[in-house]
Amino acid sequence: MTRKGIFLLFLCTLPATFGRLPEGQDLRELKEDECYQQCFHQTEDSCPDVNSPCRCQQLANCKKAVVCCDINDQTLKEQLKCANLTPRQHEIEALHIRNATLEVLHLNLPEWKYLRSMTITDGYVKNVSEAFPKMSMVSCLNLSSNGIQDIEIRSLVNLYKLSYLDLSHNNLTQVPNFKKKGGVTLDILGNPTISCMSLSEAISKSVITFNNENSTFCQTTKDFYWFQSNDLVNVSELRRIKELENNCIPNCTCSPYVLNLGTKVPRVHTVEVNCTNSNLLRLPHQLPPHTATLDVSNNNITSLKELSEPSYKELIFLRADNNLITSIEPLEGTQFKSIFELLSLRNNKIKFIDTYLLEFYRPAVSVRNVYLGLNRLTCDCTTVTDFKMWLQTKSDFIKDYKEIMCDTPQGDVSVIEIDPSKYCQSDETWTDYLYYIIAAEVFLLVSLVTKVSYDYWVFKTAGYLPWPASKMPKLPCDWLCE
Ligand SMILES: *[C@@H]1O[C@H](CO)[C@@H](O)[C@H](O)[C@H]1NC(C)=O
Ligand SMILES: *[C@@H]1O[C@H](CO)[C@@H](O)[C@H](O)[C@H]1NC(C)=O
Ligand SMILES: *[C@@H]1O[C@H](CO)[C@@H](O)[C@H](O)[C@H]1NC(C)=O
Ligand SMILES: *[C@@H]1O[C@H](CO)[C@@H](O)[C@H](O)[C@H]1NC(C)=O
Ligand SMILES: *[C@@H]1O[C@H](CO)[C@@H](O)[C@H](O)[C@H]1NC(C)=O
Ligand SMILES: *[C@@H]1O[C@H](CO)[C@@H](O)[C@H](O)[C@H]1NC(C)=O
Ligand SMILES: *[C@@H]1O[C@H](CO)[C@@H](O)[C@H](O)[C@H]1NC(C)=O
Ligand SMILES: *[C@@H]1O[C@H](CO)[C@@H](O)[C@H](O)[C@H]1NC(C)=O
Ligand SMILES: *[C@@H]1O[C@H](CO)[C@@H](O)[C@H](O)[C@H]1NC(C)=O
């Protein structure tokens, strides 16, 4: 590059360099900006001298920045006054209080009115109550390392400038609410009992960047999906759960499902898909990866044929009560057939149950529950004998076996209560024939006796034998009549 070129480049960058300086701003603000970055934080060395009666002091070169140490509920207000702020009292913009001993930190004090950065750390604060006043300018709030147990849920909602919130190393169980618009960097590391439900809500309400994301854990409670209570869950896991919920298949809700597979593999994170009451006419075509549980109850599904699709290969629990499913035949050849632990098909339109599809040989699976109640089978002799017998032996795992019905002309009758003799056609016709034969024999006997009596009477009165007796050859017993 020529000298001329370099000079031209210099000329061009000159205004840009000056442009970056906040020329428009007044000198005072510029100075304050130099005093502290976004978060005002001082070391223990900046504390006033131990012998100084005033436990707060203004920083030498920064008029609106104050450091206080070792103060408590009683001394707080007085000490702030003794900081001798110039030019006006109470116009503190940056404050760091170290080793405060407070039962309650009140957030609506007039002393906090002009604060842009509030740092109260390394002390003992039990609770934080009340809310910052509206129009509060605080953009950085550091309440780290105080053993805080409770921050009133609405305390921080007025901090519309908040961009850094450090609540690390406390004893919090709830994340307080804060502004929804614009990002906030949150540090909530080292709150051993912070609730996952609360943290998860915070993630969905606000745009949060975590400081120490990889080491931040929350604690689950019984109401947090299917986790065991007291499990520790990390932030990336929480985000995965949110993503799962937000990208579920149409008309269904997705949530994490924790499978406990004994001690060797303590838990496996799988997915639960719930599509109840969604007017579905068929099973979902494509389940989310690792779906272990599917509930499609209360729809108009007619077939189970999707069970053979690849996305169903990890399915273990299927609930499809109150649908229009006509057959369990599609189970044939599916992975589901060999691994399932729950199959619930109550109140469907199943007419026939292929028992071999429900047998299980895998000893590893100790639990297998089947529900088939309120289906009305077409019953014949086989159903009421073989199937009834099979049901009786499987009563342990077909929990509602008593409610499986036969669709009879007289109405529904429980298969288990039905009398096989009524159903088995061969027995029935055989007894019917027997009655006919007996009736015919009785008729023949009566006719024979009548004819013989008539013949006798005619012979006695008229002296001849009517046909056919007259044509019959004489038998040795005939002398009896004569
Ligand atoms: C903290 O403040 C209390 C008085 O409130 C004082 O007794 C204690 O020594 C202080 N601790 C430290 C580490 O300065
Ligand atoms: C601190 O908060 C807890 C929980 O909200 C409450 O039970 C307790 O009474 C509060 N303590 C004080 C001193 O306000
Ligand atoms: C907040 O205070 C803690 C404890 O003094 C400190 O370690 C941390 O760096 C501070 N956070 C910020 C953002 O200044
Ligand atoms: C946190 O709270 C538990 C009980 O709620 C208590 O045992 C523990 O000492 C507290 N920790 C701190 C640092 O205050
Ligand atoms: C956090 O963990 C993820 C994946 O485990 C990794 O990619 C990332 O670099 C980690 N971040 C930090 C700050 O360690
Ligand atoms: C978070 O937890 C999940 C599940 O326990 C684990 O697979 C993942 O590696 C963890 N990530 C980090 C950054 O610790
Ligand atoms: C979802 O439900 C709506 C309304 O009930 C229905 O119109 C739509 O077809 C359903 N979508 C699927 C994929 O079943
Ligand atoms: C699916 O959602 C319905 C309604 O919210 C609920 O009654 C049902 O228990 C859920 N299914 C599962 C397996 O949690
Ligand atoms: C589902 O079936 C019921 C009757 O069984 C019917 O009333 C309803 O309209 C059907 N719904 C859909 C979405 O087909």
Ligand 9 and 277: CB distance under 6 A: no
Please give the tally of structural domains in the chain: 3
3 has a pLDDT exceeding 90: no
Ligand 4 and 147: CB distance under 6 A: yes
Q: Are residues 136 and 76 in the same domain?
A: yes
Report the C-alpha gap between 354 and 370 in whole angstroms.
13
Q: Are 413 and 407 in contact (CB under 8 A)?
A: no
344 has a pLDDT exceeding 50: yes
How close is the Cα of 236 to the center of ligand 6, in Å?
7
Q: Are residues 414 and 450 in the same domain?
A: no
Q: Are residues 19 and 161 in the same domain?
A: yes
Per-residue pLDDT reduced to its tens digit, 273-311: 999 999 999 999 999 999 999 999 999 999 999 999 999
Ligand 4 and 192: CB distance under 6 A: no
**pLDDT (average), residues 389-407:** 91
- pLDDT of res. 19: 32
Q: Are residues 394 and 433 in the same domain?
A: no
Give the residue with greater pLDDT, 33 vs 345.
345
Per-residue pLDDT reduced to its tens digit, 221-271: 877 777 776 778 889 989 988 899 999 999 999 998 887 765 555 567 889
Does residue 284 fall inside a structural domain? Answer: no
- pLDDT of res. 403: 96
Which of 338, 382, 335 has the alpha carbon at shortest distance from 356?
338
Q: Are residues 402 and 444 in the same domain?
A: no
How close is the Cα of 212 to the center of ligand 5, in Å?
9
Does residue 194 fall inside a structural domain? Answer: yes
Residues with CB under 6 A from ligand 2: 103-104, 126-127, 149-150
398 has a pLDDT exceeding 60: yes
Q: Whose C-alpha lies nearest to ligand 6, atom 6?
A: 237
Alpha helices in 295-362 (DSSP H): 335-339
Amino acid at 357: L
The ligand 8 atom at the shortest distance from the C-alpha of residue 293 is: 13
pTM, two decimals, is: 0.73
Q: Whose C-alpha lies nearest to ligand 6, atom 13?
A: 214
Q: Are residues 201 and 74 in the same domain?
A: yes
Q: Are residues 104 and 213 in the same domain?
A: yes
Does residue 388 fall inside a structural domain? Answer: yes
How close is the Cα of 250 to the center of ligand 7, in Å?
7
The ligand 1 atom at the shortest distance from the C-alpha of residue 71 is: 5
Domain end point (choices 185, 214, 247): 247
Q: Whose C-alpha lies nearest to ligand 1, atom 13?
A: 99
Antiparallel, parallel or unpaired: β 217-219 and 232-234: antiparallel
Q: Are residues 51 and 136 in the same domain?
A: yes
Does residue 1 fall inside a structural domain? Answer: no
Domain CATH number, residue 181: 3.80.10
Q: Whose C-alpha lies nearest to ligand 8, atom 13?
A: 295
Q: Are residues 44 and 182 in the same domain?
A: yes
Mean residue pLDDT of the chain comes to 85
Identify the nearest ligand to the CA of 164 by its number: 3
Per-residue pLDDT reduced to its tens digit, 96-116: 999 999 999 999 998 898 899
Alpha carbons within 13 angstroms on the beta-carbon side of residue 232 total 10
Report the C-alpha gap between 172 and 209 in whole angstroms.
19
Domain end point (choices 247, 280, 310): 247
Does residue 274 fall inside a structural domain? Answer: no
Identify the nearest ligand to the CA of 278 by its number: 7
Residues with CB under 6 A from ligand 8: 274, 276, 293, 295, 319
What tokens were used for 477? 């017993």
Q: What percent of the chain has pLDDT over 90?
A: 53
Domain CATH number, residue 399: 3.80.10.10
Containing domain of residue 243, as a range?
14-247
Q: Are residues 371 and 449 in the same domain?
A: no
Does residue 140 fall inside a structural domain? Answer: yes
426 has a pLDDT exceeding 70: no
Q: Long-range contacts for 220-226 (Cβ within 8 Å, ≥24 apart)?
A: 220/196, 221/195, 221/196, 221/197, 223/197, 224/195, 224/196, 224/197, 224/200, 225/255, 225/256, 225/257, 225/258, 226/255, 226/256, 226/257, 226/258, 226/272
Q: Are residues 315 and 436 in the same domain?
A: no
Give the residue with greater pLDDT, 31 vs 451.
451
78 has a pLDDT exceeding 90: no
Does residue 152 fall inside a structural domain? Answer: yes
The ligand 2 atom at the shortest distance from the C-alpha of residue 126 is: 1
Does residue 31 fall inside a structural domain? Answer: yes
Q: Are residues 367 and 230 in the same domain?
A: no
Domain end point (choices 221, 247, 273): 247
Lookup result for tokens 């729950």 = 342
